[in-house]
Chain A
């Protein structure tokens, strides 16, 4: 029983570790470099097909039709698993991102940044 309690404590604590050690500040820097060129908020007004948005932002605007913010940085519902699945697996035209591009630690930082306003 004591062992199980110890395990629960460790597991519970370890689940908190990424949120405590990951850097929101660095996450924004990584996001700005790797994600913002498609998922940013500011774009030229005459981009073909995009209605003034970048490709990722535009695609999400078409997909969600206002149900959710198209700009990822404005989302409050994203989860760590969602973010990691898309970054490492790609989605539609968005390709896979390798670890030599965004390391696992940097990905944790991006998760921290994009989930900083997540509703509990």
Chain B
């Protein structure tokens, strides 16, 4: 049995009794067997004293029950940790940031409160998953498209509150950016509604985000200032058509021009998330493996050596897939415009038409439809990349921790960050897996993400190696101003320490808010480096 820090067993049991009165005995989980279900399946500290395990869990079904839980927690100084669907794997899953917290499992708050087809929004509770919302929309034949993350079993609310992202147009794939209005139970048990939700009888809560005065919505993302119990989201009207196309650029040095042209389309809202690739780099997984090993054997290669490698592979250095949404006339015209512009900017660029679909795709074709997330269809197919597979048949990991850094959207930044990642991997005693052909993630349209994934295990020795690699990579990247947007609770103090401008003035400001909003420090202590005053000494 794990107790919350500085809480007596008697107080803990009294609090559990009040939780049972609030939600019903069957929705308070305190046996070792039940509490174990709240472990982070992908913990990088599995089975070690540092593993962030819960002391209990309580699962309310209504906002009034959440308020009662919060008031009890204040009475007994019980740290709470809310989760929505608990599927934030690699970033903590259903486990708390601080060991001994009571998880507030919001999965039972699973009502889809409103979906308005004409105004293209949804209002949902925390336990609603992307699958739930998708099926709701399809069953009613509403002409709306979701933007889903990959995998899609999380919740719109939880994903957006951790700044998750999807695949369609930039306005929708920034999931927090596409929210409009929230309801929050404060750490003292009050209920607030943001934006137009603060106006009694207003009918525009999901239409206008700001209302008047300071917009506080951002305070409730990646933080510990309240429990969000309702949230609105803008949805994309179902496009009539979807078209994809692939562009290839022959030379390594063409990336800069390619990025410029793709960014032009992105910033005009004309393409969904561009998918960069490297046919020449990919050849290293086949016949080009020996050549790639030679290229990298003496450390980071020169640009000239990389260009020579590309020439020898006889494959284009770069590719990018573009995805167009809209009426058939406009998607075809946009693809033609993209071809014209890139053809003029990059000598030798080549173009291949991709899939054309009229939307929505018929229900019977859904199971075999590739690229589901691009079409707003939630799936778990991405797990093929981490599960046991033909390339990793004998030693699949038990999970992974992701370290993606934000870099400027330009080829030179990608080159330099790949070099630093390569050297950090070697410094940690691992093979330098990052190559000059690493391609950027473009979930957020105005920046690139790049980085590395480390395996996690139910083996402390292997996890120690993964943690060491993770820390070295994080430190080396931060020296260049490249840091993550999101991280596993085991590294949140470390990450927030990198946001250190003016003697950590941003964190100090957040701590002042914390002390005012949550004087007893009961809400998610330590989440993203924000500790209550009484626990600030715990900060790494």
Contacts and interface: CB of A to CB of B under 8 A. Distances in A.
B125 interface: no
Contacts of A48: 384-385
A56 interface: yes
Contacts, number: 112
B370 A92 contact: no
A54 B370 contact: no
A68 interface: no
Nearest to A40: B367
Nearest to B95: A96
Interface residues of A, number: 33
Contact of A59 (B29, B34, B127, B387): B387
Interface in B87-118: 87, 89, 93-94, 105, 107-108
A101 B386 CA distance: 23
B89 A45 contact: no
Contacts of A51: 390
B41 A49 contact: no
Contacts of A33: 131
Given A47-B384, A92-B397, A58 B389 contact: yes
A98 B38 contact: yes
Candidate in B27, B379, B389 with the most chain A CB atoms within 10 angstroms: B389
B398 interface: yes
Contacts of B386: 55, 93
A88 to B, nearest CB: 6
A37 B370 contact: no
B42 interface: yes
B107 A95 contact: no
A96 B41 contact: yes
Interface residues of B, number: 45
A93 B59 CA distance: 25
A3 interface: no
B38 A50 contact: no
B387 A100 contact: no
A58 B370 contact: no
Contact of B380 (A38, A96, A101): A38
A18 interface: no
A38 B383 CA distance: 8
Interface string A10-50: 00000000000000000000000100011010111111111
B54 to A, nearest CB: 11
A99 B29 contact: yes
Given A54-B380, A94-B387, A100-B105, 7 more contacts: A37-B153, A37-B379, A49-B385, A49-B389, A55-B382, A59-B396, A99-B37
13 contacts: A37-B131, A47-B370, A47-B381, A47-B384, A51-B390, A54-B380, A62-B388, A63-B393, A92-B387, A95-B87, A97-B37, A98-B38, A100-B108
